[in-house]
Amino acid sequence: MDRKNATSTMATNDPHHLDPPGTPQPGDLIEIFRPAYQHWALYLGDGYIINLTPVDESQAAAISSVKSVFSRKAVVRMQLLKEVVGDDSYRVNNKYDDHHTPLPVDDIIQRSQVLIGQEVSYDLLGSNCEHFVTLLRYGEGVSEQATRAIGAITLVTAAASAFSVLGLINTRSRNRPF
């Protein structure tokens, strides 16, 4: 095995190492790793992406804002990938291609360009940045990140309900006169 392949193999065995981001092609989904969440964008070409940013922030501040997660409105922006990524890391991640057929690249780019500068609704669970870019790529909004969050919320709600019922039963049994 040559040195290059050995290094490559070692890197893939490291669970904290991300694969190199690859060279994005127009229409590719770009996953950007923020400290507390993943931000998603769609590659347009020539170093530019389209993504959602908060309405009430300057373009520069919107790039890595956690506030974007809690916003109810967003603006569709075309920005340089390297500026949006900043000090974070990213990768090309067309992870839904096995289950969803991508639209033709020309259609993806045309649909994207029409939306630049538009204000859109934003909802962390139902209409987030991942939904937005998958809608452009596949014609259907999909978000594994939102599905996981909904699952976690459901679990916490079910646990809280169970503890509430158990507390009610326990209170009633202590209040019995016999």
Contacts 24+ apart (CB under 8 A), 136-139: 136/42, 136/50, 136/108, 136/111, 136/112, 137/27, 137/29, 137/42, 137/94, 137/96, 137/100, 137/102, 137/103, 137/108, 138/96, 138/100, 138/101, 138/102, 138/103, 139/103
How far apart (Å, rounded) are the C-alpha atoms in residues 48 and 138? Answer: 19
| 129 flagged as catalytic | yes
Q: Which one of the listed residues 16, 99, 100, 129 is annotated catalytic?
A: 129
Vertex 73: Cα angle to 126 and 129 (nearest 5): 50
DSSP letter string, 40-85: EEEEEETTEEEEEEETTS-HHHHTT-THHHH-SEEEEEEEEHHHHH
Q: Which one of the listed residues 39, 99, 100, 131 is annotated catalytic?
A: 39
Q: Which residues carry out catalysis?
A: 39, 129
